[in-house]
Amino acid sequence: MAAITCSNLTKKFGKTTALDHIDLELEPGRIIGLAGPNGSGKTTLIKLAQHMLVPTEGEILIDGKAPGPETKAHLAYLPDRDFLPDWMKIDGLVKLYGGFYEDFSRETAEQMLTNLDIDKNMVFKKMSKGTREKVQLILTMSRKADVYLLDEPIAGVDPAARDYIIRTIISNYNPEALVLISTHLISDIENVLDEVIFLKSGTIVLHENTDDLRTRMNKSVDEYFREVFRC
Amino acid sequence: MKWEFKNGVPIYLQIITVLKRKIASGEMPPGSKVSPVRDLAMEAGVNPNTMQRALTQLEQEGLLYTLRTAGRYVTEDEQILKKMRESLSSGYIEDMFDALRELGMSREEIVEAVGAFGREQ
């Protein structure tokens, strides 16, 4: 069964159509890039999967079920902005996640915090933007979820941490799980992607295997992306 | 050896070439155990499915073989290894010929230049 299925999925905000009749099937065991310029509908799609938004028309299913408390228990979501209680220490946040999510592994989280030299006694809001992003990603990836939705996970971190994060995604890779990564920085992650989706003004202009795309276009996914979305 | 990937060529094909070079250079000697897929994928910074695909193809070519419980190994079959080295080297020679032809050199000039280089080594 597909991990995420969208049929005729549409989301409007007033007169603005953020997603326009999208059909999509995303299989488990794949790392998939969701690429598109700002305002193309990436975050809207992720929020619909996370049940933070409700479709205007059509439907989205997670493992064949409508989004709700049951699907959210198996879905790890990394928003594109800070979302944690920022007065807490990292230590406390790890405990909070452990209490909140049954599939959360404290050992995994603590190992990753150590690897990235993050002080567990620091208060979240006193950390730099990049470090906060790392902490949020670590907490998200320390869950054993069926679906990971990562909204711009690498936008604000330095190149060394970016490499570490990419390796984290690979090393936590679970053959049964779907990892959906939204980004406009394709070159950083294209070697990790099985498939890529191009979103443009709320519609899907491309959904293809990355290696097939590279062969067909005789260029990198990043180069092709820049061509499709040239301003 | 660093893992660097060119644009426009499927990653799995490039991984195959890198692994063949590692085998040819002795970094992965005949009979040695191959790292697990996930470790190799992390080292290369690529998707584990892509790494798996490359390893599967190397198995089909006979360069790697799997013992059901003990993991994956580099072949010790001299014939297969020799064939691999030949195909790698003819690839390099082809690239070099193409590059030199672009400079406007004739076949004879290239052969002469390569021979002269070889004698100086």
CATH number at A39 reads 3.40.50.300
Question: What phi and psi, each to the nearest 5 degrees, are found at residue A31?
Answer: -110, 115
Q: Give the model confidence (pLDDT) of A142-154 as tens digits.
A: 999 999 999 988 7
Query: Are the C-beta atoms of residues B118 and B112 closer than 8 Å to each other?
Result: no
Separation CA A188–CA A193 (nearest Å)? 10
Contact call for A210 and B7, based on CB within 8 A: no
Enumerate residues 188 to 207 of chain A having a beta carbon within 8 A of any beta carbon in chain B: 191-194
Interface with chain B: mutation pick from A166, A173, A222, highest number of B CBs within 10 Å: A173
Least-confidence region, from A67-76, A183-192, B107-116 = A183-192
- What's the pLDDT at B1? 46
Enumerate residues 12 to 71 of chain A having a beta carbon within 8 A of any beta carbon in chain B: 29-31
Answer with the residue of higher pLDDT: A123 or A133.
A123
Q: Give the model confidence (pLDDT) of B1-20 as tens digits.
A: 458 888 888 899 999 999 99
Closest chain B C-alpha to A125 CA, distance in angstroms: 31
Q: Which domain holds residue A146?
A: 4-228
- Contacts A191 to B, Cβ<8 Å: 5, 11, 44-47, 50
DSSP state of B9: S
| CB neighbours of residue B33 within 10 Å | 12
pLDDT bin (cut points 50, 70, 90) of residue A204 is very high
Give chain A's mean pLDDT. 91
Residue A21 in tokens: 């009749």
ipTM above 0.85, yes or no: no
**Cross-chain CB nearest to A191 (options B8, B38, B45):** B45
Answer with the residue of higher pLDDT: A187 or A103.
A103
Interface with chain B: mutation pick from A115, A192, A209, highest number of B CBs within 10 Å: A192
| CB neighbours of residue A120 within 10 Å | 15
Q: Give the model confidence (pLDDT) of B63-95 as tens digits.
A: 999 988 889 999 999 999 999 999 999 989 999
Closest chain A C-alpha to B118 CA, distance in angstroms: 35
pLDDT at A172 over 80: no
Q: Model pTM?
A: 0.85
User: Based on the structure, what is the number of domains in chain A?
Assistant: 1
